[in-house]
Structures are given as C-alpha cells and as structure tokens.
Structure 1
C-alpha cells in the first residue's frame, strides 16, 4: 500500500510573491485549510514545505509556502505533485477507499470469474466510474454504485462486481 498520497499538482504561479495555483486531486479541496505541511515531489527528491497561507479561486487552491517569497523561487516547480503521508489523510468512511489503493486490483464477477484489472477511477460528480481492462485487452467502464460494485477487499486485492445488463454492449 502506498504511504504517500497526492493531494494536488502545482499548475502555475500566482502573483509575484511566491504563491502557486494548485489543482486539487483530493475530493475535498477545503482540506488544505487543515494541512500544515505537504511534500513536494521535484522528480529527484521530496521536499517538505510548510503551508503559510491558503486561498481558493474557482476550482483551484492558492498556496503560499514558508520560505518562498518570489515568483522566481517557486516557478520551477510548476507541474510537480504535492503529497501527504497517509496518516495526514482525511479519515475514510465505510465503503470508501483511496483511488491509489484501487488501481491495479483484480476485478472478478459475482460468480468468481476473472473479469480484468482496474486501471483508472474517473470522477464524474454523480458517482465514480471504474475503468477495467479485461483479459482480452478491452476497456470497460463500470459505475461505482452498490448495484454494480459488490465489494472491495484490499487485503486480497479483489473487487467483486455485478455486470449490469447493457454494460458490455
């Protein structure tokens, strides 16, 4: 299980005083208000950053990090991921999982037949959609609703699904 979780991606700078616009990759962007630190994945190393200020603009989060006071200091980190440790993450409710824990799980039908591997989770607003690559190499989209996704067993690495009528047409 992955111990680092991505909560956002620096999309651009904001102003000239070292602020950045962050595209949140978390369900609840307001969670940035409670974060004190994040880890920046530079591609070569991980840097701990202390959050000094948080603002919101449209679908973006604007962050100010301690020690970065000009556009020149922060500009080189555009496109880089912001990570947190799993123990900093929002506590999940029943039947909730982190997407990173689902990717790569085996998908089986309710009668135990191999169906494929979960390759992506698409956020649609109404409900998530699971993208599953079948053994034949076909991509199938399954709605992540109780009628279709019957169970997730992270320890066994299996998602059990009911293939609803019309989903494979």
Structure 2
C-alpha cells in the first residue's frame, strides 16, 4: 500500500464500545450488514488524539450472539491490559477506502425515498424522516422529533424493518449520549 496513514482515504466502519476483561480486549461495534465480513479483518486503523491514523493489527477476534444481537470482541496487538483498552473507548475504527468497499451497507437506500416516512421505536412513533445524509459507511436518517432532530444510522442494527410506509427501529438506546 503506497498511501501513508496521514493522507485522506479512510472510511469509518465501526467504533470501540468499551473495554472487556483485564487482558486488553475491547467490545467493538461494526457498521456492516454481514458479520462474516468482519471475521476476515486482520488490520484496521485507529486515530490518535492529533487525528493521525495508525495501524492496529487484530491479534484475536471472537463473535458472540445474545438476544438477536451480535457482539464483536477484538484484541489488538498494541493493547495488553485494561488501561490500554479503556483508552480506546469510543474511538472510531477505520479501513482504507478501497478495503472498505465490502463493508459499505449495500442494501440501504441513499436517495430521498425515505423522506416523509414515520419512524417508530417499537410501537411508539418518534418522528418523521426529514432528510437522509449520505455517509461513506452508510446513510444516516435525520428524524424530526418533538424535542429536535435525531440521527439514526440506516443499518440493520438500528433499522429493524420497513413496512407500510413506516420505518421500525431497534437498539436506539445505544445512540443516547453519542
């Protein structure tokens, strides 16, 4: 690869949710439609506090499924303890643009056909889609609610179903405070 890590050309494909255990393992959320794509990853990029990208080799990787939710646990080669893992909390995980192509959510609609759809969290209406932001990793729904706008990534993890002209969401509590 002839690009150095300081040049543009990186696409965010996920983020570190939190540390897990004492050995430096982290729980990671990947913005993918097919979890098997993640299992093939050996190298990702993280960003330091200055905003520079640096490579992070994946030493160990495991997938855990609970309550219809898939969790990814990753051990990076440069993180050996919980303190190092805590330092990665909420950090984005990136791939070089050409490597990220399979990770881009292919089924999402990127045009305005989602505008004016009612959005539900379970049985409760939370608002109306007023715009769709085109993000390199996946589209993001801009939902007008009674308390302002809300951004919802248009991926399977958050958008459960689309029927009857409505969008039904799940796991929205994970977006609180982001």
The alignment's TM-score, normalised by the length of structure 1, stands at 0.56
* Distance in 1, Cα, partners of 2:39 & 2:81: 22
Contact 2:15/2:29 (<8 A) preserved: yes
Partner of 2:71: 60
C-alpha distance in structure 2 between counterparts of 1:80 and 1:43, whole Å? 10
Structure 2 alignment gaps of length 5 or more: 1-7, 114-129, 134-139, 142-153, 168-178
In structure 2, C-alpha distance between the alignment counterparts of 1:6 and 1:31, rounded to whole Å: 15
Q: Which has the larger radius of gyration?
A: 1
In 1, Cα distance between the equivalents of 2:161 and 2:131? 23
Equivalent in the alignment of 1:17: 23
Aligned to 1:34: 40
Q: Are the structure 2 counterparts of residues 127 and 91 from structure 1 closer, same or farther at C-alpha, using a change threshold of 3 Å?
A: farther
Aligned counterparts of 1:91 and 1:3: Cα–Cα separation in 2? 15
CA distance in 2, matches of 1:63, 1:33: 10
Q: How does 1:1-169 map to 2 (within 5 A)?
A: 3-44=9-50, 45-58=52-65, 59-91=70-102, 96=106, 102=110, 107=112, 118-119=132-133, 120-121=140-141, 122-123=154-155, 124-127=159-162
Name the Cα RMSD after superposition: 3.3
CA distance in structure 2 between the partners assigned to 1:42 and 1:142 by the alignment: 40
Q: Is the 8 A contact 2:18 2:85 kept in 1?
A: no
Change over 3 Å in CA distance of 1:25–1:42 after alignment to 2: farther
Q: Is the 8 A contact 2:15 2:93 kept in 1?
A: yes
**Match of residue 151 from structure 1:** none
Q: Which runs of 4+ in 1 moved over 3 A?
A: 90-93, 96-99, 125-128
1:32 is paired with a residue whose SS is helix
Contact 1:10 1:20 in 2 (8 A): yes
TM-score by length of 2: 0.53
